[in-house]
């Protein structure tokens, strides 16, 4: 039995869900999101909640049960609160700024890095050393944050680079 899958996903005020076949569509104040489940689970909306039940007792059906329920929960969270990743830039002369739909990064290269922000995600730079990525799709927000971080990963000696705010950089001792 999936402990996660057993719990129905509650729909807060202002959020509606509709199921057609294997696709659940959730509408809320921050937009509309949808998810198509596999044929191993059944989706249903009842009493202001979306419930997911497995079809059969196979291992794959039990795996998809909890995963599908979590995906539906992420849809509800995305259209109500949204998802957010914060990045921090460490290093002398390293900074970021937004210019229209382009994030300009100075990361110690001989050229500035221009990062084009994809649709569905908003990127802000409230300070030159802080980047905030927000959106309603958890996967897309995480991917954009990872793509920005990829330009200059934090190094273990001085900690220079782009890191997540809650990330711990394991420091190494240099040569003596």
Q: Please give the pLDDT value at position 28.
A: 92
Residue 172 lies in a domain: no
Residue 146 lies in a domain: yes
Q: Please give the pLDDT value at position 114.
A: 95
0.75 surpassed by pTM: yes
DSSP character at residue 169: -
Residue 169 lies in a domain: no
Q: Determine the structural domain holding residue 7 and report its residue range.
A: 3-80
Number of domains in the chain: 2
Among 80, 96, 119, the domain-final residue is 80
103 with 70, same domain: the answer is: no
Classify burial at 75, counting beta carbons within 10 Å of its beta carbon; exposed 0-12, middle 13-18, buried 19 or more.
Answer: buried
Q: Please give the pLDDT value at position 98.
A: 94
Position of tokens 């989706």?
43
Please answer whether residues 150 and 165 qualify as being in contact, where contact means their C-beta atoms are separated by less than 8 angstroms. Answer: no
76 with 97, same domain: the answer is: no
Q: Please give the pLDDT value at position 1.
A: 60
Decide the pairing of beta strands 16-20 and 161-164: unpaired
- What phi and psi, each to the nearest 5 degrees, are found at residue 75? -65, -45
DSSP character at residue 166: T
Among 50, 80, 110, the domain-final residue is 80
71 with 122, same domain: the answer is: no
56 with 75, same domain: the answer is: yes
pLDDT (tens, 9 = 90+) of the chain, 176 residues, equals 668 888 999 999 999 999 999 999 999 998 899 999 999 999 999 888 999 999 989 999 988 999 999 999 999 999 999 999 999 999 999 999 999 999 999 999 999 999 999 999 999 999 999 999 999 999 999 999 999 999 999 999 999 999 999 999 999 998 88
38 with 88, same domain: the answer is: no
103 with 69, same domain: the answer is: no
101 with 61, same domain: the answer is: no
Among 80, 115, 142, the domain-final residue is 80
Q: How far apart are the first and last CA of the chain?
A: 56
Domain containing residue 28: CATH number: 3.90.930.12
50 with 69, same domain: the answer is: yes
Classify burial at 87, counting beta carbons within 10 Å of its beta carbon; exposed 0-12, middle 13-18, buried 19 or more.
Answer: buried
Q: Please give the pLDDT value at position 2.
A: 65
159 with 87, same domain: the answer is: yes
DSSP character at residue 69: H
Residue 175 lies in a domain: no
Q: For the chain, where are the alpha helices, taking DSSP H only?
A: 3-6, 59-80, 138-150
Residue 170 lies in a domain: no
Residue 20 lies in a domain: yes
Kindly report the number of other CB atoms within 10 A of residue 58's CB atom. Answer: 11
């Amino acid at each position: 039995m999936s402990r996660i899958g057993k719990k129905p996903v509650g729909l807060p005020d202002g959020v509606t869900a509709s199921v057609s076949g294997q696709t659940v569509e959730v509408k809320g104040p921050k937009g509309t999101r949808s998810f198509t489940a596999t044929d191993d689970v059944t989706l249903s909306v009842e009493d202001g909640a979306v419930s997911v039940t497995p079809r059969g007792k196979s291992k794959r059906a039990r795996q998809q049960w909890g995963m599908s329920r979590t995906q539906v929960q992420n849809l509800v969270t995305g259209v109500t609160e949204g998802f957010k990743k914060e990045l921090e830039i460490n290093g002398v002369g390293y900074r970021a700024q937004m210019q229209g739909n382009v994030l300009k990064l100075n990361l110690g290269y001989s050229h500035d890095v221009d990062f084009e922000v994809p649709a569905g995600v908003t990127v802000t730079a409230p300070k030159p050393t802080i980047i905030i990525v927000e959106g309603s799709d958890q996967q897309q927000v995480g991917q954009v944050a990872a793509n920005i971080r990829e330009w200059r990963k934090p190094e273990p000696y001085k900690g220079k680079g782009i890191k997540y705010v809650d990330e711990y950089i394991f420091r190494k001792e240099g040569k003596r």
